[in-house]
Structure 1
Amino acid sequence: MAVLMTNSSRKTVVALAVVVVAAAALLASSVSAAITCGQVGSSLAPCIPYATGKATALPASCCTGVRNLNSAARTSSDRQAACRCLKTLANSVKSVNMGTVATIPGKCGVSVGFPISMSTDCNKVS
């Protein structure tokens, strides 16, 4: 069965489709705005040799990652997610020295607003 559409009906359908696509894109961008563990891991990967004592100097790429991650974590929810991911990452890396890890943001000139420690309650990070 064929449906006949007038020019104005077609324009209405196209306009509605555009609105639906725009709304979906907006929704998707707000959902994807949260910090992911993938972002945390890739941002901080250059820091691992320093955090494990395999490098004596803090690489510039580590500080770049720390700064980028700090800039990306704009909301309390982002910072809490980054905190949880950091703890997970620290647990997965053998020989990580959490004392050294805790000094990295300061050495990079970044204030993260919460202590870098395995005992930090990430749910209380604001």
Structure 2
Amino acid sequence: MKNTFSMVFLLSFLLFLASTSEATVPCGTVDMKAAACVGYATGKEPKPSPACCSGLQQLAGTVKTVDDKKNICRCLKNGVKAFAGVQDRLLSQIPTACNIKVGFPVSLNTNCEM
């Protein structure tokens, strides 16, 4: 009986660790993957670069939960503030240009909590 309890406790603990260790993508990683998009978002490049699209596709591939999506959205919104001249109309075109489905309108004013 004692061994059964210990085994159940151990399995429960391991499942807890596994679920809590799946942290969302850090903002530093999000910033690094999206950095190549700044040229297009500021109007300095005529289209998103392959590096921009590749980085954003990699980010999209990391989304496992709604919380992941919200976190990446918050990171992107905070990161874009560091760059002067980002144009909302260009920013909103990046998902379509890179063939990425995000499920919400991309804008400087996007509400990441929805």
TM-score range, shorter chain: 0.7 to 0.9
Residue 60 of structure 1 is matched in structure 2 by 50
Q: 1:117 aligns with which of 107, 110, 114?
A: 107
Gaps of 5+ in 1: 1-18
**Who wins on radius of gyration, i.e. which is larger?**
1
Q: What is the alpha-carbon distance in structure 2 between the residues aligned to residue 57 and residue 104 of structure 1?
A: 8
What is the aligned length?
102
Q: What is the alpha-carbon distance in structure 2 between the residues aligned to residue 36 and residue 54 of structure 1?
A: 27
Spell out, residue by residue over 1:17-56, the C-alpha distance to the aligned partner (whole angstroms, 9 max, x if none).
xx8xxx5xx8378435312211210110111111111212
Residue 50 of structure 1 is matched in structure 2 by 40
Q: 1:82 aligns with which of 56, 65, 72?
A: 72
Gaps of 5+ in 2: 1-9
Q: What is the alpha-carbon distance in structure 1 between the residues aligned to residue 88 and residue 35 of structure 2?
A: 15
Cα RMSD between the aligned structures?
2.0
Q: What is the alpha-carbon distance in structure 1 between the residues aligned to residue 30 and residue 102 of structure 2?
A: 13
Spell out, residue by residue over 1:80-104, the C-alpha distance to the aligned partner (whole angstroms, 9 max, x if none).
0011111101211111112101111
Residue 34 of structure 1 is matched in structure 2 by 24
Report the CA distance between 1:57 and its aligned residue.
Answer: 3.0
Q: What is the alpha-carbon distance in structure 2 between the residues aligned to residue 52 and residue 109 of structure 1?
A: 20
Name the SS of the counterpart of 2:34 in structure 1: helix
